[in-house]
Amino acid sequence: MPSSALILVTACGLYGVVHSLLASHTAKRLAEARWGAAARRWYRLGFSLLAGFLLLLPILWLAWKLPDRVIYRIPFPALILSGLIQLGAALALLAGLLQTGVMRFLGVGQALHPETAGPLIAGRRPQELVVDGVYRRVRHPLYTCGLVIIWLSPVMSWNLLALNVGMTGYILIGIYFEERKLLAEFGEAYAEYKRRTPALIPGMKRFHHRDAEDTEKK
């Protein structure tokens, strides 16, 4: 792997550390203790802008400026199929955002309507666990769709591969910590949802249960 790719993997790792710290309960508690209602109104929007935009810009700039080399290009007509799959993933991602409230997810709703902004830690207020729609197939459909989109890029270079590896690693680690928070917030309801629904790949739980049943029969 070229040195530029290693730099990008490292940059993705640093991004993941900062992102996780800002998303942690500790950071939210500190912000709410320090700024109170202002934190409840602006923290999520600030987090979205910082983590989803400002922190990514230096990484994208590095990917553009560092020396790079193409590994492969998806040939026609496979290019059409991959594009259609990416489009389907993008639509499913949008459906997932709309299902959970994209404005609140980004923090825009809390900023525009501060009276609706509850405590930063969701477990301290009643909240519905979404388990239908795209969430019926996998527990983390936004991550699933994002991974499909980035890995089906029509052109793969070393720098893009490094970005994909770094972001995939961060997503897998992030899921572990995110699920700990969800279990703390929703308790047995989320534990049951986790038992019957795969994390990222649709159908994985069904195959797992089928194998377990076959083993028991033997």
The answer to whether residue 156 sits within a structural domain is yes
Q: How far apart are CA 58 and CA 184, in angstroms?
A: 34
Say if residue 40's pLDDT is above 70: yes
Q: Give per-residue pLDDT as tens, 77-136.
A: 999 999 999 999 999 999 998 888 888 888 888 888 888 777 777 644 446 788 999 999
pLDDT of residue 96: 92
Which residue in this structure is represented by tokens 């992030």?
174
Greater model confidence, 168 or 213? 168
Does residue 30 sit within a domain?
yes
In a domain, 215, yes or no: no
Structurally, the chain folds into a number of domains equal to 1
pTM score, whole prediction: 0.82
* Beta strand segments in the chain, E: 70-73, 155-157
pLDDT digits (tens, 9 = 90+) for 164-194: 999 999 899 889 888 988 898 888 999 999 9
Whether residue 218 is predicted with pLDDT greater than 50 in this model: the reply is no
Question: Domain for residue 167, yes or no?
Answer: yes
Q: What is the pLDDT of residues 65-79, one digit of tens each?
A: 999 999 999 999 999
Q: Tell me whether residue 212 is in a domain.
A: no
pLDDT band, residue 205 (cuts 50/70/90): low
Helix, strand, coil abundance in the chain, percent, nearest 5 = 75, 5, 20
Domain of residue 139, residue span: 1-120+128-196
Per-residue pLDDT at 216 exceeds 50:
no
In a domain, 204, yes or no: no
Mean pLDDT of 4-32: 88
- 90, part of any domain: yes
Do residues 40 and 119 lie in contact, with contact meaning Cβ atoms separated by under 8 Å?
A: yes
In a domain, 71, yes or no: yes
